[in-house]
Amino acid sequence: MALAKAGHSVESLAREFEQCIATIHDWVKQVEIDGGTRDYDLTSADREELRRLRKENRQLRTKRDILLKGAAWFTANGVTFVFMTVNQAVYPIETMA
Protein backbone atom coordinates (compact mmCIF):
# COMPACT_ATOMS: atom_id res chain seq x y z
CA MET A 1 0.00 0.00 0.00
CA ALA A 2 3.03 2.21 0.34
CA LEU A 3 3.30 2.15 -3.46
CA ALA A 4 -0.26 3.43 -3.79
CA LYS A 5 0.49 6.21 -1.30
CA ALA A 6 3.66 7.02 -3.25
CA GLY A 7 1.55 7.84 -6.29
CA HIS A 8 1.51 4.61 -8.28
CA SER A 9 -1.82 4.09 -10.00
CA VAL A 10 -4.08 1.26 -8.92
CA GLU A 11 -4.05 -0.02 -12.49
CA SER A 12 -0.24 -0.25 -12.61
CA LEU A 13 -0.16 -1.98 -9.22
CA ALA A 14 -2.79 -4.47 -10.39
CA ARG A 15 -0.68 -5.32 -13.44
CA GLU A 16 2.55 -5.53 -11.45
CA PHE A 17 1.15 -7.81 -8.72
CA GLU A 18 -1.23 -9.70 -11.02
CA GLN A 19 -4.34 -8.76 -9.08
CA CYS A 20 -7.61 -7.35 -10.33
CA ILE A 21 -8.11 -3.61 -9.98
CA ALA A 22 -11.03 -4.07 -7.57
CA THR A 23 -8.82 -6.06 -5.20
CA ILE A 24 -6.19 -3.31 -5.11
CA HIS A 25 -8.93 -0.70 -4.56
CA ASP A 26 -10.30 -2.75 -1.66
CA TRP A 27 -6.84 -3.06 -0.10
CA VAL A 28 -6.16 0.66 -0.40
CA LYS A 29 -9.59 1.47 1.02
CA GLN A 30 -9.09 -0.86 4.01
CA VAL A 31 -5.65 0.62 4.76
CA GLU A 32 -7.20 4.11 4.71
CA ILE A 33 -10.03 2.99 7.02
CA ASP A 34 -7.66 1.25 9.44
CA GLY A 35 -5.32 4.24 9.37
CA GLY A 36 -8.10 6.68 10.17
CA THR A 37 -7.93 8.64 6.92
CA ARG A 38 -11.28 7.24 5.76
CA ASP A 39 -13.94 6.96 8.44
CA TYR A 40 -17.23 6.04 6.78
CA ASP A 41 -16.66 2.29 6.94
CA LEU A 42 -15.71 -0.30 9.56
CA THR A 43 -12.10 -0.91 10.53
CA SER A 44 -10.73 -4.44 10.42
CA ALA A 45 -10.99 -4.60 14.22
CA ASP A 46 -14.62 -3.46 14.06
CA ARG A 47 -15.39 -6.07 11.40
CA GLU A 48 -13.85 -8.80 13.55
CA GLU A 49 -15.80 -7.66 16.60
CA LEU A 50 -19.01 -7.60 14.56
CA ARG A 51 -18.32 -11.15 13.34
CA ARG A 52 -17.68 -12.28 16.92
CA LEU A 53 -20.82 -10.60 18.24
CA ARG A 54 -22.98 -12.09 15.48
CA LYS A 55 -21.66 -15.56 16.32
CA GLU A 56 -22.33 -14.99 20.01
CA ASN A 57 -25.82 -13.74 19.18
CA ARG A 58 -26.56 -16.93 17.18
CA GLN A 59 -25.37 -19.05 20.09
CA LEU A 60 -27.50 -17.13 22.58
CA ARG A 61 -30.58 -17.42 20.37
CA THR A 62 -30.01 -21.17 20.10
CA LYS A 63 -29.73 -21.48 23.88
CA ARG A 64 -32.88 -19.39 24.31
CA ASP A 65 -34.76 -21.61 21.86
CA ILE A 66 -33.59 -24.68 23.74
CA LEU A 67 -34.87 -23.26 27.02
CA LEU A 68 -38.22 -22.26 25.53
CA LYS A 69 -38.81 -25.66 23.93
CA GLY A 70 -37.43 -27.53 26.90
CA ALA A 71 -39.55 -25.80 29.53
CA ALA A 72 -42.62 -27.88 28.66
CA TRP A 73 -40.62 -31.12 28.83
CA PHE A 74 -38.96 -30.28 32.11
CA THR A 75 -42.24 -29.24 33.71
CA ALA A 76 -44.28 -32.18 32.45
CA ASN A 77 -41.74 -34.98 32.73
CA GLY A 78 -38.99 -33.71 34.97
CA VAL A 79 -36.53 -35.68 32.82
CA THR A 80 -33.74 -33.78 31.11
CA PHE A 81 -32.52 -36.67 28.98
CA VAL A 82 -35.85 -37.14 27.21
CA PHE A 83 -35.72 -33.59 25.89
CA MET A 84 -32.07 -33.94 24.88
CA THR A 85 -32.75 -37.22 23.07
CA VAL A 86 -35.73 -35.83 21.18
CA ASN A 87 -33.89 -32.67 20.12
CA GLN A 88 -30.38 -33.99 19.47
CA ALA A 89 -30.92 -33.65 15.70
CA VAL A 90 -31.86 -29.98 16.12
CA TYR A 91 -29.40 -28.77 18.79
CA PRO A 92 -25.87 -29.82 19.71
CA ILE A 93 -25.78 -32.00 22.84
CA GLU A 94 -22.97 -29.82 24.29
CA THR A 95 -25.24 -26.78 24.08
CA MET A 96 -28.19 -28.53 25.74
CA ALA A 97 -26.07 -29.99 28.55
Per-residue pLDDT, 47: 84
Q: Mean pLDDT score of the chain, rounded to an integer?
A: 77
Least confident piece of the model among 5-14, 16-25, 40-49, 81-90:
5-14
Q: Please report, to the nearest 10 degrees, the dihedral formed by the alpha carbons of residues 48, 51, 52, 54 taken in order.
A: 160
Residue 74, pLDDT above cutoff 80: no
Per-residue pLDDT, 89: 92
Question: Model confidence at 6, in pLDDT bands (50, 70, 90)?
Answer: low
Are 13 and 3 contacting, i.e. CB atoms less than 8 angstroms apart?
yes
pTM above 0.85, yes or no: no
Domain parsing of the chain, residue ranges: 2-35, 52-96
